[in-house]
Amino acid sequence: MSSTAESVGHMDVFAELKKILAELLDIEDREITPETLLIQDLGAESIDLLELAVTVNSRFKIAVRDDEIFLTRFRLYSTEAKQEGKDTVHYIAGKYPFLGEDRIAEIMAHIKEGPQLKIKDLISYVAYRSQGV
Amino acid sequence: MSRHFSGNRALVLGGTCELALALAHSMIGSDLFPILTYRDDKGLNAIRESLRPFHGRYETCYLNFGDHASLDSIFTQIGDDLHFLVDFAQGNYESFVAGADEDSVYNYFMENISFRAAILKRAGRAMLKKRRGRLVFISSAAAARPNPGQGFYAAAKLASEALYRNMGLELGERGVTTVILRPGYIEAGRGRIYLQGQDRKILEMVPIRRAITGEEISQTILFLLSDGASAINATEISMDGGLTSGK
């Protein structure tokens, strides 16, 4: 995170997300960092993600599209880019403007290990939507 | 009979039909707060006329199936403060399958299935926030046993039943449950008109030899909304006097 303003904003969102996740997943004793994987580390299931989307919408007063915030179509977009002969990272960045290209490349490098959605991706999404996008 | 309800605000879709108005009376009598939808001034006036003695104990809101702006407006008006939903809304389109107008079929399914799915999404998410909610879909015995000409009506009812059933499957563990009621011949609304047209002989096919009354439907819905019925989830119940159990 480059600027102080961004960092402070993200810290608030992070603290709130930790609180939400602790309540939803009943994991108050678990350490959560921006690098924590939502599905693999915290064991979030589909119903948890739905409830998380609803709670994020309500708590941050932002519009939430479930397929965006949870990167549901990441693999599909990756396939589309390849089929259309486009640069995959650039193509996915167009679909998920809240993710930096570095982060997209990082996800692609690990995607075979399972769902790569991290807490920091949720933070990015909330920040992006908070700008009224 | 005294019943306990977890919550009091109930959105009643298709709130201008005779059965919905009868239910609204029963709900108010049980200290529930119905929010009745209407789609034109005639419907709004019918609600006001029927519930005249109960000023301040109910609300109305405009909802036209197919009009997404009206859906947005409803959830802006009622917010997340929603505990129950009872769905009477159903357009009618009678035609032989081989004789149907294709555009009419497309619009009919869009309004009666796709739009209903959009309503269910909104209601389900509002209820999920509180981890509590109960939805009752009023289907029809015709969903299981349609007459010739009722193919589209039955298809829309069955598809809508599937949406409600899945909502109960998906959100049941978070306190949001659903149930589907399939009334048979009813002595109210469209059912009464149909029975008059049939010279009532059709009731001889019903094991209890009579139509279901609006009051019976209201009382059953109230029971289905009550805490005592909360284990009845993601399933359909026939209320047709036994009509569809035999042949």
| pLDDT score recorded for residue B189 | 82
Helices (H) and strands (E) in chain B, counts: 9, 7
| pLDDT score recorded for residue A133 | 65
Q: How many Å apart are CA A7 and CA A13, to the nearest integer?
A: 10
* Lookup result for tokens 């029927």: B50
The CATH code of the domain that includes B85 is 3.40.50.720
ipTM, two decimals? 0.81
B30-72 pLDDT per residue, tens: 999 999 999 999 999 999 999 999 999 999 999 999 899 999 9
Q: How far is A11 from chain B (nearest CA, A)?
A: 24
Q: How many Å apart are CA B10 and CA B73, to the nearest integer?
A: 16
Structurally, chain A folds into a number of domains equal to: 1
Residue of B135, B155, B128, B101 lying closest to B229 (CA atoms): B135
Inter-chain CB proximity A51 and B128 less than 8 Å? yes
| pLDDT score recorded for residue B1 | 56
Structural domain of A112? 4-130
Q: How far is B128 from chain A (nearest CA, A)?
A: 7
**Total residues belonging to chain B:** 247
For residue B124, what is the nearest residue in chain A, using CA coordinates? A54
The CATH code of the domain that includes A78 is 1.10.1200
Question: Cβ–Cβ contacts within 10 Å for residue A51, how many?
Answer: 22
**Residues near B19 by beta carbon (within 8 Å), at least 6 away in sequence:** B88, B138, B186, B188, B189, B214, B217, B218
| pLDDT score recorded for residue A14 | 93
Structural domain of B105? 9-185+215-230
Helical residues (DSSP H) of A33-111, grouped into ranges: 46-60, 66-69, 74-83, 88-95, 101-110
**Residues near A15 by beta carbon (within 8 Å), at least 6 away in sequence:** none
> Which residue among B125, B129, B170 sits closest to A47, beta carbon to beta carbon?
B170
For residue B173, what is the nearest residue in chain A, using CA coordinates? A47
Structurally, chain B folds into a number of domains equal to: 1
Interface test mutation site (partner A, options B82, B128, B176, max chain A beta carbons within 10 A): B128
> Which residue among B125, B170, B173 sits closest to A54, beta carbon to beta carbon?
B125
Which residue ranges in chain A fall short of pLDDT 50? 1-8
Inter-chain CB proximity B174 and A55 less than 8 Å? no
Q: How far is B6 from chain A (nearest CA, A)?
A: 20
Amino acid letter at A13?
V
What SS3 class is residue B242?
Answer: coil
- Residues of chain B neighbouring A48 (CB-CB closer than 8 A): none
For residue B167, what is the nearest residue in chain A, using CA coordinates? A47
B199 occurs within a structural domain: no
B93 occurs within a structural domain: yes
Interface test mutation site (partner B, options A47, A48, A67, max chain B beta carbons within 10 A): A47
- Chain A residues at the B interface, defined by Cβ less than 8 Å, are 47, 50-51, 54-55, 57-58
For residue A59, what is the nearest residue in chain B, using CA coordinates? B129
**Inter-chain Cβ pairs, chain A and chain B, closer than 8 A:** 15
| pLDDT score recorded for residue B194 | 80
B194 occurs within a structural domain: no
10-residue block means of pLDDT along chain B (247 residues)?
89 96 97 97 97 96 94 90 96 94 96 97 95 97 92 97 98 97 90 79 90 96 97 97 90
Q: How far is B125 from chain A (nearest CA, A)?
A: 6
| pLDDT score recorded for residue B199 | 73
Interface test mutation site (partner B, options A49, A50, A67, max chain B beta carbons within 10 A): A50
| pLDDT score recorded for residue A9 | 52
Amino acid letter at B146?
P
